[in-house]
Amino acid sequence: MSTPRDEDRLMDHKYDDIQEYDNPLPTWWNVIFWATIIWSIIYFLNVIPGVGSGKGRQALYEDEMAKAQELYGSPEQQAEAAIDEGAMAAALADPAKLEAGKVVFATTCSPCHNMDGGGNIGPNMTDDYWIHGNSPKAILTTITKGVPEKGMPTWAATLKPDQIANVAAYITTLRGTKPAVAKEPQGILMTPDGQPAGADSGAVK
Amino acid sequence: MNAQLDSFKYDDAIVRKFLVATFVWGLVGMLVGLIAATQLVLPSLNVVPWLSFGRLRPLHTNAVIFAFAGNAIFTGVYYSSQRLLKTRMFSDALSAAHFWGWQLIIVAAAITLPLGFTQSKEYAELEWPIDIMIAVVWVIFAVNFFMTIARRRERHLYVAIWFYIASIITVAILHIFNNLSLPAGPFKSYSMYAGVQDAFMQWWYGHNAVAFFLTTPFLGLMYYFMPKAANRPVFSYRLSIMHFWTLVFMYIWAGPHHLHYTALPEWASTLGMIFSVMLWMPSWGGGVNGLLTLRGAWNKVAEDPILKFFVVAVTAYMMSTFEGPMLSVKSVNALAHYTDWIIAHVHTGALGWNGFLTFGMVYWLLPRLYQTKLYSNKLAEVHFWIATFGMILYATAIYSAGVQQGLMWRAFDETGRLQYPDFIETTMKLMPMYWMRVAGGTLYLAGMVIFGWNILKTWQSRPAKYEEPVIQAAPLERKPGESGKNVFAGFSVAGHRRWEALPILFTVWTTVAVIVASLFEIIPTFLIQTNIPTIASVRPYTPLELAGRDIYQREGCFNCHSQMIRPFRYETERFGEYSKPGEFVYDHPFLWGSRRTGPDLAREGGKYNNLWHVNHMKDPRAVTPNSIMPAYPELLTQKLDFNTIQKHVDAMAMLGVPYGELIKDGAAIEAARTQAAEVAADIESTDPNLTGLADKEITALVAYLQRLGVDIKKANEVAAARLPAGGQ
């Protein structure tokens, strides 16, 4: 320490034999102490760019959202981009993509549709009954936009378009498989090409 | 002069009692912490409801803060005050009442917290009857302490006593004002404040509990035991004065830094941040004074485990009081908030500063109190090294866990989507670090066992009867009329010296510093209407939802789940629209939470269907593989207590929640039964295997979860419900 020998400047009091020196405050302590005060005042007044809250958190958030929209499109545009029947058809023809779709299904969808698609909270994927239709476009739409009020989440913001195409394709391959526990049919009986199977199909609720 | 010397004896028996309590509760509190830490890696350890994580975590924090650190404070205060003031404690009866009263409070806490009785405010969980007990015992302590000062034989007060005074006064104020609540049953109450204001009061309290329970009293202890152990004078009296007053005045403002980017008005959080930054040097003043006191004694540190404990304690103090201001800078806080970084920060302080200072103090006291040699200096060394190593393991693990999870939450991929949309994925990444924490905690606890062995063996070699040396000191002469002209004397060193001889004036000034600083923030928070723009579509919880909320509190879900979405894209993409102040006006108490071990639930309503929640609560891992959430199967079988619902709704109505007709006799119960029947019918229709849920607790909890955050979606009021602008 650069302070003079403090042995010379013991205070003249003692408490239970504890003594104290009369040392001055260390210079660095003083400098930093006052610097933080000055910095804080400037920060509070918010007058220098970079020192202060700037425009405030609300404006910053709105800027951030606007910038993201510019870069990646609006949520609606993102959803539209994910409803891509061509990509789904391509996935159906490509075993690697189907495999990728299976992985998405296992990690993201199985909590509600079961690993084998037999259904629990969500409907059975292996039967021919559909609530929202089984045309490629219908399936892609259900997945991207969800049915939030019935417990099917929306996935456009979480899954990428190719992941949605892959998982949609994978679902259609489950048709006719034998799940361990199959949930009772929900919706109406559909033909594989996405048409209602007829008036006598017997809607199931 | 000599003819007039008084003869008296110090009361060391009470110090011995507090010392033993310190060790015993320390062991218990840390063991509970270790169990809780292990439950986070092995959720199956949540074996019985009253030992599940949500109930154990508050038990751990309360035990280490109020039982371990509390008793350590009392040990040191009772030992040092008598000697610094040259008098026996004012009243042996009050000392005993303080000791037994405090232990009774701890036992009451240890029983009620596992039973799920909680106010759900961090470190203020204890319910109102216990809060009253705390207030009474604290007053007993204060009377005993201030009367001891009144009877002192040392005219001037030493710096340690200043810190004790500030602590006793401020803890009393904090405790009373944060715990104001309306009882709604023997162990149930609702906070007087709601939402934003409740959050503000809670963190004004919470932060200052750290300040005036874990910092200022321990600084007082440091100022006594460190110069004693090192046998060196304190480095600088002037620094003591300066850092004492700046610390006491500035600490009080800093609370809102716990609420950055929440629905708290931004001006308040800005104040909290800048006062935290300005607190850096006032805090370090104590550290500097401690470490520089060791100048000329460093050679002793190598041999003496006591000094080693003190050096690490003060170093940990300086690290965490540098980190604190850093964490309160908004941009840093945005990353750290809700993560384990905060947990790590707290443990640097608790394990390092409070723990090590206590260990050093106790080792120093043992031979003096038990009037024999310390059983083993070697074992004290072993304790030091094993605890240091345990602490380093803990800190390394949990700092990296915090930073890593914070970064994962905010990561976007090249398509603008969240990189880790599955919350649980970010949790899984932490598991190796959580195991490392378990290892670190085990080592620290092993150190405690060694510590206990050393205490026990030392105690066993105590003399048959303790000697009680007779102390002689001259009584103080009265100097009437001093205070009047000294009121503003303290602004110079000589003037301050005069204050130190006037304890009443000194105490008044300390109180003024604390209260004035508090009012600067409290008054605007409560009075400025624009801080909390109301939202017409936000309605009170239905009686059934309120019952569900009570269950949510009882189970301590808020220990893992936040309900406060911040205005960042990575938060709103993951959880939905950010939270608005007007959404919480009926939340007595607020349940914003502070750690996201699980996802935020502020907009949970409508995200899944009812059945999902039932299945998830019954067994989270059946729905989300690898979830670390405890299972709550008992909620599907336990009957909901419909009878208390009316009382609870009435209490809320008394706090100003507009329940209208529902406060009529039994109307709330009727409404709850009707809603429960609807919810249960929906669940049972989606899964026919489930039956008879209409009178079970799960139905209320699901109703509550489905209500969270939906009101604002009803009306197109999002625009009207912007965050309050309010200054910076």
pLDDT of residue A196: 87
State how far the alpha carbon of B686 is from the alpha carbons of A182, B184, B609, B635, in Å: 14, 36, 9, 19
Give me the residue from B238, B278, B608 closest to A24, CB to CB.
B238
CA distance B710 to B719: 15
CA distance B104 to B92: 18
State how far the alpha carbon of A170 is from the alpha carbons of A99, A115, A164, in Å: 8, 12, 10
CA distance B616 to B625: 11
Tally of domains within chain A: 2
- Interface mutation vs chain A, best among B10, B149, B236, B685, most A CBs within 10 Å: B236
Mean pLDDT over residues B50-74, rounded?
97
Give me the residue from A21, A64, A148 closest to B235, CB to CB.
A21
- pLDDT score of B2 more than 90: no
End-to-end CA distance of chain A: 84
How many angstroms away from the CA of B83 is the closest CA of chain A? 6
How many angstroms away from the CA of B238 is the closest CA of chain A? 6
Helix (H) or strand (E) holding A188: strand A188-189
Residue B538 identity: V
Contact B170, B212 (CB under 8 A): yes
Q: Which residues of A touch B418 (CB under 8 A)?
A: 157-158
pLDDT of residue A1: 43
Pair A52, A93 in one domain = no
Pick the residue from chain B with its C-alpha nearest to A72: B416
DSSP B478: P
Pick the residue from chain B with its C-alpha nearest to A55: B728
How many angstroms away from the CA of A197 is the closest CA of chain B? 25
**Which of A49, A72, A95 lies at the terminal end of a domain, its last residue?**
A72
pLDDT of residue B561: 98
Contact A54, A46 (CB under 8 A): yes
Which among B463, B450, B304 has a CA at the least distance from the CA of B370? B463
Tens of pLDDT, residues B333-366:
999 999 999 999 999 999 999 999 999 999 999 9
- pLDDT score of B728 more than 70: no
The answer to whether B415 faces chain A, any CB pair under 8 Å, is yes
Pair A67, A128 in one domain = no
pLDDT of residue A7: 55
Mean pLDDT over residues B17-31, rounded?
98
Confidence of residue B681 (pLDDT cuts 50, 70, 90): very high
Mean pLDDT over residues B308-316, rounded?
97
pLDDT of residue A130: 95
pLDDT of residue A8: 56
Helix (H) or strand (E) holding B472: strand B471-473
Pair A64, A82 in one domain = no
Pair A99, A48 in one domain = no
Pair A174, A122 in one domain = yes
Range 554-573 of B in CB contact (< 8 A) with A: 567-569, 572-573
- Interface mutation vs chain B, best among A42, A121, A163, most B CBs within 10 Å: A121
**Which of A38, A72, A106 lies at the terminal end of a domain, its last residue?**
A72
Pair A109, A197 in one domain = yes
Q: Is the dihedral of CA B365, B369, B373, B374 positive or negative?
A: negative
DSSP B67: I
Q: Which residues of B touch A37 (CB under 8 A)?
A: 278
Residue B723 to residue A26, Cβ atoms within 8 A: no
pLDDT of residue B479: 66
How many angstroms away from the CA of A166 is the closest CA of chain B? 17
Contact B186, B647 (CB under 8 A): no
Which among A21, A119, A148, A174 has a CA at the least distance from the CA of B687? A119
Q: Which residues of B touch A108 (CB under 8 A)?
A: 422
- Domain residue ranges of chain B, discontinuous segments joined by +: 11-463+507-515, 543-719
The answer to whether A42 faces chain B, any CB pair under 8 Å, is no
How many angstroms away from the CA of B623 is the closest CA of chain A? 5
The answer to whether B609 faces chain A, any CB pair under 8 Å, is yes
Which residues, 6+ apart, have CB-to-CB distance to B4 below 8 Å?
B474, B475
Q: Is the dihedral of CA A109, A113, A116, A117 positive or negative?
A: negative
| Cβ neighbour number for residue A203 with a 10 Å cutoff | 11
Helices (H), A12-155: 27-45, 57-72, 75-82, 85-92, 95-104, 110-113, 136-145
How many angstroms away from the CA of B449 is the closest CA of chain A? 33
Residue A52 to residue B728, Cβ atoms within 8 A: yes
CA distance B274 to B349: 21
Q: How far is CA B418 from the centre of its chain?
A: 33
Q: When comparing pLDDT for A182 and B431, which is higher?
A: B431
- pLDDT score of B71 more than 70: yes
Confidence of residue B207 (pLDDT cuts 50, 70, 90): very high
Tens of pLDDT, residues B239-250:
999 999 999 999
Range 344-363 of B in CB contact (< 8 A) with A: none
pLDDT of residue A12: 83
- Interface mutation vs chain A, best among B161, B253, B278, most A CBs within 10 Å: B278
**Which of A72, A91, A107 lies at the terminal end of a domain, its last residue?**
A72
CA distance A60 to A57: 5
- For domain B11-463+507-515, the CATH superfamily is Cytochrome c oxidase-like, subunit I domain (1.20.210.10)
Give me the residue from B242, B246, B723 closest to A57, CB to CB.
B723
The answer to whether B608 faces chain A, any CB pair under 8 Å, is yes
State how far the alpha carbon of B552 is from the alpha carbons of B430, B533, B547, B559, in Å: 26, 27, 9, 10
| Cβ neighbour number for residue B449 with a 10 Å cutoff | 12
CA distance A160 to A167: 11
Q: Which residues of A touch B618 (CB under 8 A)?
A: none
Mean pLDDT over residues B131-140, rounded?
97
CA distance B616 to B637: 15
Q: Is the dihedral of CA B472, B478, B482, B484 positive or negative?
A: positive
Unique residue bearing structure tokens 């650069």: A2
Q: Which of A91-95, B28-32, B641-645, B683-687 has the lowest mean pLDDT?
A: B683-687
End-to-end CA distance of chain B: 63
Pair A68, A82 in one domain = no
- Interface mutation vs chain B, best among A8, A20, A183, most B CBs within 10 Å: A20
B543-719 shares the fold of B11-463+507-515: no
| Cβ neighbour number for residue B507 with a 10 Å cutoff | 18
Residue A149 to residue B242, Cβ atoms within 8 A: no
Residue B421 to residue A36, Cβ atoms within 8 A: no
Pair A19, A106 in one domain = no
CA distance B458 to B452: 10
pLDDT of residue B726: 40
Helix (H) or strand (E) holding A13: strand A10-15
How many angstroms away from the CA of B707 is the closest CA of chain A? 13
Strand partners, A22: B236
The answer to whether A39 faces chain B, any CB pair under 8 Å, is yes
> pTM for this structure?
0.92
Which residues, 6+ apart, have CB-to-CB distance to B257 below 8 Å?
B207, B269, B272, B273, B276, B327, B328, B333
CA distance A68 to B341: 28
Give me the residue from A24, A153, A158 closest to B417, CB to CB.
A158
| Cβ neighbour number for residue B158 with a 10 Å cutoff | 27
Pair A126, A42 in one domain = no
CA distance B179 to B128: 8
Residue A80 identity: E
> For chain A, give me the number of helices (H) and strands (E)?
8, 4
Which residues, 6+ apart, have CB-to-CB distance to B617 below 8 Å?
B631, B632, B633, B635, B636, B698, B701, B702
What length does chain A have? 205
Which residues, 6+ apart, have CB-to-CB distance to A42 below 8 Å?
A48, A51, A52
Low-confidence ranges of chain A (pLDDT < 50): 1-4, 201, 203-205
In order, the DSSP letters of B411-459 are -B-TTSSBS--SHHHHHHTTHHHHHHHHHHHHHHHHHHHHHHHHHHHHH
Domain of residue A65, residue span: 4-72
Tens of pLDDT, residues B407-416:
999 999 988 8
Percent of chain B with pLDDT over 70: 96
Q: Which CATH class is domain B543-719?
A: mainly alpha
Residue B722 to residue A64, Cβ atoms within 8 A: no
| Cβ neighbour number for residue A42 with a 10 Å cutoff | 14
State the ipTM, two decimals: 0.91
Phi/psi at A6 (nearest 5 deg)? -80, -15
Q: Which range scores top for mean pLDDT: B64-68, B153-157, B410-414?
A: B64-68
